[in-house]
């Protein structure tokens, strides 16, 4: 293959094959991820036929990791995590420690050095959030308390792994690997391990503080400026630039991993309503590169491991399916939760996925981990993800079995409800708070916007979407004065619910949902022409002066309609004043 088209062929064959196999996997009730991995195996150097460029694909995979982590940051809900912290925090940490120690012990006994054994332990200790979410979605379990405990648990695992990704390069020397030469990461090879650890953590902490302090102030502002241009692609581009730029920049400046940088970029965007909408725009790209990530991981897999080292493969699978699950089951029971919760968490954890691959690749890059280890991790992932649906149905049967017998039920379920109920209440409170917050912020979908405001019905869905980005929401209580006659203009108001009253001279004109007001002063540049008072609990979406003017400039037809109504209102008011004069 001529070198100059290797990028094209790697991407196109990768996507095409991943699509076909992902689709087949889905049809036979497996997560599509299995299909992507197999696609990678097929175009990898270890199977006959087309061989994609593995150097290129590993870089594409790196972009995939950044975007995956960006996605994790984007969906990270602190409120949910806080609600399940009493079980998820000790549970996930305890389980990572137990599973890592057990796995590292087994592999050390089998003759591996301590460094690769520990990496193997970490790889097997963390489950895939992607796989779990898919499994929960299929069972309608995402919103159930047990489902949220499992998700919270995995988020703690993800966070612990983010830390591991930062620490592995720093400890490369100690773990028997080679020391990074780019100077980007601190290294523990030369002397005091605590100094290195301290330095690494200090850099990470500095980065986190800067990202969280400056990010939420600057990013939404930047995005608002971009949104003003009215171009959705510029907007998507801005989000991507923030995700990848922050990941790359922070890796260069602070020596933190791309993954951590991207995670925080996601979290920063997650904070603001406007940005969140924008971030959703970038999801397709995120999905696409995540697929390439799995494909390129598959490319590394050498199926020969299955017949060359079957016992090791079995050991890995057993550690994932049995070892890890038992550890989690034990921990949840010790923490005093019902057996059904314990079984659900165990089933959720009985697989490994993206973080294990990331960690294994990192281990290889730093000379700590071996290709054989990577093959074992991959075999473990393929098998455990494939049988995960079976694990779930086994645990469901176990639950039925326990519940079928009153004595068993009393012992394993009913007597263990106190903590579970407390947690359920906390989750419910978090949900209510989140719903309130969302309701206060919610504007509309582009369809709802057109439905409510006939003024916007001729815009294309895309134009409406851009318009929505500019909207702010405001609420008012009965009696609130929203506009005072004679004031300088600031916003135009679109009533989404409730009722207001316009007061001119001694006339009162009611306006309701779908109407708008505040346009006259913005058009004429004069002070407000009337008082506007809320009659009911009301909600508005508002556009500021600049955005409104720009919007009208872009859509002359709407400008005409708005100007016509303003003129009509103006004439009407002159009439009112004239009448007032006459009666005097």
Count, residues in the chain: 584
CB of 531 to ligand CMP, least distance (A): 7
CB of 453 to ligand CMP, least distance (A): 14
Of the listed pieces 230-238, 371-379, 417-425, 568-576, which binds ligand CMP according to CB under 6 A? 568-576
**Among candidate residues 23, 63, 58, 62, the one with its CA nearest the CA of residue 40:** 58
Indicate the residue among 195 and 488 with the shorter CB distance to ligand CMP.
488
Helix (H) or strand (E) holding 496: strand 491-497
Judged by CB under 6 A, does residue 70 bind ligand CMP? no
Of the listed pieces 50-58, 162-170, 294-302, 518-526, which binds ligand CMP according to CB under 6 A? 518-526
Judged by CB under 6 A, does residue 528 bind ligand CMP? yes
Hey, how many other C-beta atoms are within 10 angstroms of the C-beta on 370?
18
> Helix or strand or coil: residue 306?
helix
DSSP characters over 443-486: ---HHHHHHH-GGGTTS-HHHHHHHHHH-EEEEE-TT-EEE-TT
Of the listed pieces 39-47, 323-331, 352-360, 569-577, which binds ligand CMP according to CB under 6 A? 569-577
Report how far apart, in Å, the C-alpha atoms of 578 and of each of 485, 524, 564 are.
Answer: 18, 21, 21
The answer to whether 535 and 497 are in contact (CB under 8 A) is: no
Instruction: Judge residue 544's burial from the number of C-beta atoms within 10 Å of its C-beta, 0-12 exposed, 13-18 middle, 19 or more buried.
Output: middle
Residue 139 DSSP label? T
Q: What angle do CA 472, 473, 474 make, to 5 degrees?
A: 125
Selected binder of ligand CMP within 293, 453, 517, 540 (CB under 6 A): 517
Indicate the residue among 432 and 564 with the shorter CB distance to ligand CMP.
564
**Among candidate residues 92, 36, 471, the one with its CA nearest the CA of residue 293:** 36
Judged by CB under 6 A, does residue 518 bind ligand CMP? yes
Judged by CB under 6 A, does residue 530 bind ligand CMP? yes
Q: Write the interaction track for ligand CMP spanning residues 338-357; mark x where CB under 6 A is met and - where it is not.
A: --------------------
Indicate the residue among 564 and 572 with the shorter CB distance to ligand CMP.
572
Indicate the residue among 308 and 512 with the shorter CB distance to ligand CMP.
512
d(CA 153, CA 436): 25
Strand partners, 542: 472, 493
Judged by CB under 6 A, does residue 547 bind ligand CMP? no
Judged by CB under 6 A, does residue 483 bind ligand CMP? yes
CB of 501 to ligand CMP, least distance (A): 10
Q: What part of residues 233-262 is at the interface with ligand CMP (CB under 6 A)?
A: none
Judged by CB under 6 A, does residue 541 bind ligand CMP? no
Report how far apart, in Å, the C-alpha atoms of 112 and of each of 105, 176, 322 are.
Answer: 10, 12, 22
Judged by CB under 6 A, does residue 380 bind ligand CMP? no
d(CA 346, CA 350): 6
Q: What part of residues 485-504 is at the interface with ligand CMP (CB under 6 A)?
A: 489, 502, 504
The answer to whether 36 and 16 are in contact (CB under 8 A) is: no
Look-up of token digits 């999801």? 283
Give the interface size with ligand CMP as a residue count (CB under 6 A): 17
Indicate the residue among 402 and 513 with the shorter CB distance to ligand CMP.
513
Of the listed pieces 4-12, 238-246, 316-324, 527-535, which binds ligand CMP according to CB under 6 A? 527-535
Of the listed pieces 98-106, 281-289, 374-382, 528-536, which binds ligand CMP according to CB under 6 A? 528-536
The answer to whether 513 and 468 are in contact (CB under 8 A) is: no
Judged by CB under 6 A, does residue 521 bind ligand CMP? yes
Strand partners, 499: 512
Indicate the residue among 153 and 517 with the shorter CB distance to ligand CMP.
517
Indicate the residue among 218 and 572 with the shorter CB distance to ligand CMP.
572
Indicate the residue among 235 and 551 with the shorter CB distance to ligand CMP.
551
According to DSSP, the β-strands at 516-517 and 531-534 are: unpaired
Which residues contact ligand CMP by CB under 6 A?
Answer: 483, 489, 502, 504, 509, 517-521, 528-530, 532, 569, 572-573
């Amino acid at each position: 293959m001529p070198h100059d088209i290797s990028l094209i062929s790697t991407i196109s064959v990768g996507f095409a094959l991943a699509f076909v196999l992902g689709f087949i996997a889905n049809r036979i009730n497996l997560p599509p991820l299995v299909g992507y991995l197999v696609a990678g195996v097929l175009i990898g150097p270890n199977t006959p036929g087309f061989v994609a460029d593995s150097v290129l694909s590993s870089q594409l995979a790196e972009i995939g990791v950044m975007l995956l982590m960006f996605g994790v940051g984007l969906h990270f809900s602190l409120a949910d995590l806080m609600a399940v912290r009493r079980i998820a925090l000790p549970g996930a940490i305890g389980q990572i420690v137990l599973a890592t120690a057990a796995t590292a012990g087994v592999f050390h006994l089998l003759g591996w050095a301590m460094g690769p054994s520990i990496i193997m332990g970490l790889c097997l200790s963390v489950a895939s959030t992607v796989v779990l979410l898919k499994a929960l979605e299929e069972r309608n379990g995402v919103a159930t308390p047990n489902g949220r405990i499992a998700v919270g648990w995995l988020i703690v695992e993800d966070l612990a792994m983010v830390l591991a990704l930062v620490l592995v390069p720093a400890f490369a020397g100690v773990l028997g690997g080679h020391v990074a030469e780019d100077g980007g990461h601190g290294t523990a090879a030369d002397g005091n391990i605590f100094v290195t650890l301290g330095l690494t953590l200090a850099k990470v902490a500095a980065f986190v503080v800067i990202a969280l302090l400056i990010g939420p102030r600057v990013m939404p502002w930047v995005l608002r400026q971009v949104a003003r241009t009215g171009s959705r692609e510029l907007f998507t581009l801005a989000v991507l630039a923030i995700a990848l730029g922050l990941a790359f920049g922070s890796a260069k400046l602070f020596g933190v991993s791309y993954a951590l940088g991207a995670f925080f970029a996601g979290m920063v965007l997650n904070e603001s309503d406007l940005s969140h909408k924008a971030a959703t725009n970038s999801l397709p790209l995120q999905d696409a590169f995540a697929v390439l990530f799995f494909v390129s991981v598959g490319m590394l897999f050498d199926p020969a491991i299955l017949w060359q080292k079957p016992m090791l493969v079995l050991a890995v699978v057993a550690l994932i399916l049995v070892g890890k699950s038992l550890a989690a089951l034990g921990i949840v029971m010790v923490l005093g939760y019902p057996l059904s919760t314990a079984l659900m968490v165990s089933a959720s954890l009985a697989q490994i996925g993206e973080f294990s691959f990331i960690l294994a690749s990192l281990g290889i890059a730093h000379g700590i981990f071996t290709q054989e280890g990577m093959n074992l991790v991959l075999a473990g992932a393929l098998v455990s993800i494939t049988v995960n649906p079976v694990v779930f149905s086994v645990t469901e049967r176990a639950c039925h079995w326990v519940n079928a017998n009153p004595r068993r039920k009393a012992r394993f379920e009913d007597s263990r409800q106190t903590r579970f109920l407390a947690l359920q209440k906390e989750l419910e409170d978090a949900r209510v708070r989140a719903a309130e917050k969302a309701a206060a912020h919610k504007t509309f979908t582009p369809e709802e916007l057109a439905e409510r405001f006939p003024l916007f019905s001729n815009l294309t869905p895309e134009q409406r979407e851009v318009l929505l980005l500019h909207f702010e929401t405001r609420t008012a209580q009965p009696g609130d004065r929203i506009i005072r006659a004679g004031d300088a203009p600031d916003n135009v108001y679109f009533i989404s619910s409730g009722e207001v009253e316009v007061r001119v001279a001694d006339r009162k004109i009611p306006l309701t949902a779908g109407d708008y007001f505040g346009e006259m002063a913005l058009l004429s540049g004069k002070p407000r022409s009337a008082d506007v008072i809320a009659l009911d609990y009301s909600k508005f979406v508002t556009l500021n002066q600049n955005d409104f003017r720009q919007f009208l400039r872009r859509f002359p037809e709407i400008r005409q309609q708005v100007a016509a109504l303003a003129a009509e209102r103006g004439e009407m008011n002159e009439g009112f004043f004239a009448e007032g004069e006459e009666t005097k």
